């Protein structure tokens, strides 16, 4: 066995020790193996263990999140998006005071921590609808377009597994693109009504690009 002792690296230089060269030589001498990789192709990324996911606490949390998203959906159907605090979104310069946005975003964060993909998808869809609605109806309160787009960035959707999506949205990226496209399109309409043709065109083009047209 060859000795190795810990010391501090200097700058970008790697430490050198007697065995280090052997890694390079070893890897160069080897050949790649073969495998059908059936599990590798399909295995989902699941962080919490199955035992944790099936614990009474997690089941209770999931039930709670399910109820929250159901109530949010009901609110959207009843157009409670308009009230009671639409203008405070403008006044305070923050989306925080919009109760539906606040609740949907909180739900998404908590659902993510619980790896509750159904609640994550539902709360994201709700967020997409709220932002689209607010951008399309600026008199109801101008949601911050940047916040909307930041929230709906693709990397968040990477947490969404295809098998957890609704049947007609098998590809999470297609689903994400559709939602983001909606938000961009609403933004384009808003910019046009504000008399900003350049901004409207840019947003419209972004909407098409995101949707893959």
Partner 1 sequence: MSFRFPISPSFSITGQPIARLISGDVPELWTKRTELFDAVLRKFANIHEGHEKARAIALSSQRSASTCFTLYLRNFGIEEYRYSDDPTERMYNLRLAQFRKEVKEWVIRAGSDLLSLRGGNDQLDELLGSGELVFTGQSRNWHSLAGELIQAAKAIIIFANDVSPVFLKKLISFNLYKKQIVPLFTCQKPPKNLMSCYIMKATQIHLHV
Range in contact with partner 1 (rule: CB under 8 A) among 7-15, 177-185, 188-196, 201-209: 7-15
Q: What would you report as the CA-atom Rg of the chain, rounded to the nearest whole angstrom?
A: 24
Q: Are 157 and 172 in contact (CB under 8 A)?
A: yes
53 sits in which H/E element: helix 50-53
Q: Nearer to partner 1 by C-beta: 11 or 24?
A: 24
What does the per-residue mask of binding to partner 1 show for 34-53, with x meaning CB under 8 A? xxxxxxxx-x-xxxxxx-x-
The Cβ-side half-sphere exposure at 98, using a 13 Å CA radius, reads 29
Alpha carbon distance 94, 104 (integer Å): 15
- Smallest gap from Cβ 151 to partner 1, in A, equals 9
Quick check: 13 binds partner 1 (CB under 8 A)? no
Q: Locate 195 and state its tokens.
A: 């008399």
Q: Nearer to partner 1 by C-beta: 40 or 139?
A: 40
Quick check: 20 binds partner 1 (CB under 8 A)? yes
Alpha carbon distance 193, 173 (integer Å): 30
| 18-24-28-30 Cα dihedral, nearest 10 degrees | 70
Range in contact with partner 1 (rule: CB under 8 A) among 59-67, 75-83, 133-141, 185-193: 59-67
| 191-194-198-200 Cα dihedral, nearest 10 degrees | 20
Quick check: 155 binds partner 1 (CB under 8 A)? yes
Alpha carbon distance 115, 33 (integer Å): 34
Alpha carbon distance 170, 178 (integer Å): 13
Considering only residues 9, 78, 168, 198, which one is a binding residue for partner 1 as defined by CB under 8 A? 9
- Smallest gap from Cβ 40 to partner 1, in A, equals 5
Considering only residues 31, 78, 139, 146, which one is a binding residue for partner 1 as defined by CB under 8 A? 31
Please give the residues from 75 up to 134 whose contact with partner 1 meets the rule CB under 8 A: 94, 96, 102, 105-106, 108-110, 112-114
Quick check: 139 binds partner 1 (CB under 8 A)? no
Binding site for partner 1 (CB under 8 A): 1-6, 9, 14-15, 17, 19-20, 22-24, 26-41, 43, 45-50, 52, 55-58, 60-61, 63-64, 67, 94, 96, 102, 105-106, 108-110, 112-114, 155-156, 158-159
């Amino acid at each position: 066995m060859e000795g190795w002792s810990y010391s501090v690296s200097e700058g970008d230089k790697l430490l050198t020790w007697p065995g280090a060269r052997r890694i390079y030589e070893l890897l160069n001498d080897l050949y790649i193996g073969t495998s059908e990789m059936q599990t590798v192709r399909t295995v989902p990324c699941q962080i919490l263990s199955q035992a944790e996911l099936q614990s009474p606490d997690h089941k209770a949390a999931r039930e709670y999140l399910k109820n929250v998203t159901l109530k949010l959906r009901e609110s959207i159907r009843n157009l409670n998006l308009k009230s009671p605090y639409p203008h405070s979104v403008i006044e305070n310069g923050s989306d925080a005071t919009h109760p539906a946005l606040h609740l949907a975003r909180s739900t998404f964060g908590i659902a993510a921590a619980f790896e509750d993909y159904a609640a994550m998808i539902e709360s994201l869809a709700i967020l997409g609808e709220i932002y689209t609605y607010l951008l399309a109806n600026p008199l109801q309160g101008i949601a911050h377009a940047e916040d909307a787009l930041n929230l709906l960035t693709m990397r968040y959707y990477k947490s969404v597994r295809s098998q957890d999506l609704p049947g007609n949205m098998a590809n999470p990226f297609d689903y994400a693109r559709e939602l983001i496209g909606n938000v961009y399109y609403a933004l384009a309409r808003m910019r046009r009504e504000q008399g900003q043709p350049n901004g409207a065109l840019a947003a419209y083009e972004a909407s098409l690009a995101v949707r893959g047209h």
